[in-house]
């Protein structure tokens, strides 16, 4: 029974690793389409979303099958629960990549705004958070997971600055209001990806340590 269970868990891991790679690529393409005003690349992200949805359903069905057949306990149970949560977060990141690509689709047909915010820096930070949270999951590295939690404040601050800038620019350039709102929406979606990466990191800490830190005070969640 144990040997069969671990074979099934290995299969689940491989399926989840495949989804991780696809979602990371989708987010990378969405960010590039936004930064480079690349309509064709944005449309690729939107078209690929159905594949992510199908992979997410397959993983959930596989996890539920393992739970029903083997009734795992301890670390095996925590892994399956964490895998299901991470699977859900990845699907949501895929949806968010589509939202970014949709903003890029609109902005590709508009004159550049040249806003005083470093969008590539924000995108790099978000992508680093996602990459690190997934590495933490694969390697069961709770220290790396806590590093991800500490990065979230930077992204939140960038998003707040963008809101202030757009608010001021809409008053200065009401004729560009629609483009400005789309730009703000893009950064808001990036901030949502950071939230999903944080959720994955919290699940890694649960997986490794058995601690549920969601809804705990912020300082507590960042302590080793």
Query: What is residue 173's DSSP assignment?
Result: -
Reply yes or no on whether the pLDDT at 116 is more than 80. Answer: no
Asked whether the beta carbons of 49 and 84 are under 8 A apart, the reply is: no
- Domain limits at 52? 2-221
Number of domains in the chain: 1
CATH number reported for the structural domain that contains residue 208 in this entry: 1.20.58.220
Residue 221 is predicted with a pLDDT of 52
Least confident of 17-26, 163-172, 193-202: 163-172
CA–centroid distance for 202 within its chain: 13
The contacts of residue 54 (CB under 8 Å, 6+ apart) are none
Reply yes or no on whether the pLDDT at 152 is more than 90. Answer: yes
The 10s digit of each residue's pLDDT in 59-91 is: 999 999 999 999 999 999 999 999 999 999 999
d(CA 167, CA 67): 50
The 10s digit of each residue's pLDDT in 202-224 is: 999 999 988 887 766 555 455 55
Average pLDDT over residues 18-38: 96
């Amino acid at each position: 029974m144990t040997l069969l269970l671990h074979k099934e868990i290995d299969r689940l891991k491989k399926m989840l690793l495949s989804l991780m790679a696809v979602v990371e690529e989708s987010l990378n393409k969405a960010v590039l389409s936004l930064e480079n005003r690349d309509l064709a690349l944005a449309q690729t992200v939107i078209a690929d979303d159905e594949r992510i949805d199908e992979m997410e359903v397959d993983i959930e069905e596989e996890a539920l099958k393992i739970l029903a057949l083997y009734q795992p306990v301890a670390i095996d149970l925590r892994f399956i629960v964490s895998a299901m949560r991470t699977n859900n977060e990845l699907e949501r990141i895929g949806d968010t990549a589509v939202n970014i690509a949709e903003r890029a689709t609109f902005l590709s047909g508009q004159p550049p705004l040249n806003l005083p915010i470093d969008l590539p820096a924000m995108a790099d930070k978000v992508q680093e958070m996602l990459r690190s949270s997934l590495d933490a999951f694969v390697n069961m590295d709770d220290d790396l997971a806590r590093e991800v939690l500490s990065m979230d404040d930077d992204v939140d601050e960038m998003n707040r600055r963008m809101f202030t800038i757009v608010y001021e620019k809409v008053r200065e350039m009401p004729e560009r209001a629609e483009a400005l709102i789309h730009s703000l929406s893009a950064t808001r979606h990036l901030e949502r990806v950071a939230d999903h990466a944080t959720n994955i990191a919290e699940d890694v800490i649960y997986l490794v340590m058995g601690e549920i830190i969601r809804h705990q005070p912020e300082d507590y969640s960042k302590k080793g």
